[in-house]
Chains A and B, each alone.
Chain A
Amino acid sequence: MAAAYKATIKKSGTSTAFTDEAMSVVSGNTYKITASTKNVWDTSVVPTFYEDAVEIDSSDIASINYVFGKVTFATPKTGVITVDGSYMPLAAIAGANSIGLNMSQSIHNVTDFDGADNGNNRKICGQMDVTLSVERIDPLDDAIYDVLVAGNPIFIEINEDRSQTSVHRGWFLVESANKALNMEALINETISMSLAGQNDGADVKTFGYGAP
């Protein structure tokens, strides 16, 4: 059980290109970029992977996890793996003091006569959705308001205890950034966001959870 004051919440900055970055094995055919500051990949830039400086064909790539900078190859590799791509640098959201992360998925009833199973309902999972609310002491930097106006997705990382073992990451759209002015208190901003989209087939592009 973690005291919430240990949590951190960060947002993305400007996409930055990188070349010849080292990758290290996670397990089996899965590798991750070694530089932890570059493990959030820009989903608009398809990474290029190399084994001993020879480009690996896209047909040999089973899946790419853009959210945690990982790749899974279809076949085992024995050489040195490197990657070219573009990453999203992360920086703390100034003044944040409360986070609410809601993950949900629709549940569909698929009960039919054949599967009525002695009178019990049968269900399957449908679409997943994630919403995020952040409250912060407004530093008057308009950092979130500018994102709202621009209308582009923003990448958010929530690390519940700074351990880097339990991290939520995803692309979100800012729905609202409301400010409250109380002459006897601080200026507060309440930000609400929604998931920007779903993952793309085997690739993890939008939302993920785990150890970076």
Chain B
Amino acid sequence: MPAGYSGKVQVSADDISYSDLPLNSPSLNDALNMLDLTDLSNSSAGNKTRGYGLRDWSISGEGNYTGANAAISILRTAFNNRTAVYVKFLPDGSTGKKGQVLVENINISLPVDDKTTFSVSLQGTGAVTDIS
């Protein structure tokens, strides 16, 4: 079982060269839409019947912000151009999931008595593939 510090979130504009995103608390939300298929023909036992719909996923996190950071620059460029980027979510640093995301939100906070931080929200588009 890997410790959280082993994990990485990496981004790339071309799916070739990846840069580490300086997050300190990233999270991946990977969900399948639940379709309620219950009807009178299948509910006699009093149970719900469900099926899988579309898959949807997103990544969010917070970290220390530096404008010169390569990964942050990739996200900034994608945000400005409204284009998708590739992201790898690697809980153990080497295996995990990969897909394309849209940059939904970047929030930068600059308090005079602390460090500059940022939070980011990425919305998945298209398929998620496993990295083994």
- Whether A4 lies near B116 (C-beta < 8 A) is yes
- Whether A103 lies near B79 (C-beta < 8 A) is yes
**A202 CB–B CB distance under 8 Å:** no
- Whether A101 lies near B108 (C-beta < 8 A) is yes
**B22 CB–A CB distance under 8 Å:** yes
**B39 CB–A CB distance under 8 Å:** no
**A102 CB–B CB distance under 8 Å:** yes
**B38 CB–A CB distance under 8 Å:** no
Interface size on B, residues (CB 8 A): 37
- Whether B109 lies near A100 (C-beta < 8 A) is yes
**Given contacts A5-B113, A119-B54, A120-B128, A102 and B107 within 8 Å (CB-CB):** yes
Q: Choose the segment among A14-22, A36-44, A76-84, A159-167 that binds chain B (4+ C-beta atoms closer than 8 Å).
A: A159-167
- Whether A166 lies near B67 (C-beta < 8 A) is yes
Contacts of B22 in A (CB 8 A): 1
Contacts of B127 in A (CB 8 A): 117-118, 120
Type the 1/0 row for A149-191, where 1 means its CB is closer than 8 Å to any CB of B.
Answer: 0000000001011000110100000000000000000000000
- Whether B82 lies near A105 (C-beta < 8 A) is yes
- Whether A98 lies near B102 (C-beta < 8 A) is no
From B65, B111, B126, A98 is in contact (CB under 8 Å) with B111
- Whether A104 lies near B68 (C-beta < 8 A) is no
Contacts of B103 in A (CB 8 A): 105, 125
**B43 CB–A CB distance under 8 Å:** no
CA distance in complex: A125, B82 (Å): 6
- Whether B126 lies near A117 (C-beta < 8 A) is yes
Q: Tell me the B9-62 residues at the A interface (CB within 8 Å).
A: 22, 52-56
Closest residue of A by beta carbon distance from B81: A125
CA distance in complex: A116, B102 (Å): 17
Contacts of A5 in B (CB 8 A): 112-113
CA distance in complex: A46, B110 (Å): 34
6 contacts between A and B (CB under 8 A): A2-B67, A4-B111, A119-B55, A120-B127, A160-B108, A161-B66
Q: Interface on A for B, CB 8 Å cutoff? A: 1-5, 7, 96-105, 107, 111, 116-125, 128, 158, 160-161, 165-166, 168, 209
